Amino acid sequence: MPLFLKKNDLSATIALWQVAESEAWFLANLALTMQEMEQLAGIKGRKRVEWLAVRYLTHELSGMASRSPILKDDSGKPYLAHEGLHLSISHSGELAAAMLAPLPAGIDIQRPVEKIERIAHKFLRPEEDASLSTTHRLLHLHVYWGAKEALYKAYGRRELDFRGHIAIAPFHFELSGGAFTGTVEKEGFFAQYDLRYEVMEGYYVLVYGIEQTH
């Protein structure tokens, strides 16, 4: 599994791996818990390898001698059993992504697809839609989608409406990547986030963010 990207940004550590190993290789190199084996049993096809790759990457990123299992809380948010940092994970196609941060954080990796146009009205606010690039509309759409996925993960609780509860400050899209901000507001909860995006290999869109300190 070659390292695709590893860096420190926004007080967090972010890493991507290009998944080249087989499911059998991961099973031989990951001492999965019974709970993890039960989770894996419910996953089908290529997503099994992606799921395993994220766990292998997270262990490599943590730097711990023994692997800490990735557990899920009552809302389904992943966390490390033996680590105080906040964890976020994502996978798409041949890339797996993980982020460890001292504050609530989220990461998302997507390979752009045309069908996102059909659901854009469900997650874009009018001001976000108005800011879309005419030249790179599809990539810009996926940055907005990835940002809302990242903030959903950082928030960590269910029933968050991407259009109603998550606002992204409109920004000018650049192929070279960039920085922007977003907020989550719901029923008395309010948090602001710093966000970054990159276009990997010309087609994968990586977005990650972390809650701002007060």
120 shares its domain with 98: no
Find, among 96, 101, 108, the residue nearest to 151 by Cα: 108
Residue-wise pLDDT tens digits, 27-44: 999 989 888 899 899 999
Q: How confident is the model at residue 62 (pLDDT cuts 50, 70, 90)?
A: confident
Find, among 99, 87, 89, the residue nearest to 12 by Cα: 99
Q: How confident is the model at residue 1 (pLDDT cuts 50, 70, 90)?
A: low
83 shares its domain with 139: no
Phi/psi region, residue 117 (left: phi>0; alpha: psi -120 to 50; beta: rest), is alpha
122 shares its domain with 179: yes
115 shares its domain with 35: no
Apex 103 CA angle, 100 and 105, nearest 5: 60
Is residue 41 a contact partner of residue 27, using CB atoms and an 8 Å limit?
Answer: no
Taking 60 as the threshold, does the pLDDT of residue 210 lie above it?
A: yes
* 36: containing domain: 3-103
Q: Helix (H, G, I), strand (E, B), or coil: what is residue 101?
A: strand
At 178, list the tokens.
């960039």
Length of the chain: 214
Residue 198's domain is classified under what CATH number?
Answer: 3.90.470.20
Residue-wise pLDDT tens digits, 149-179: 999 999 988 889 999 999 999 999 999 999 9
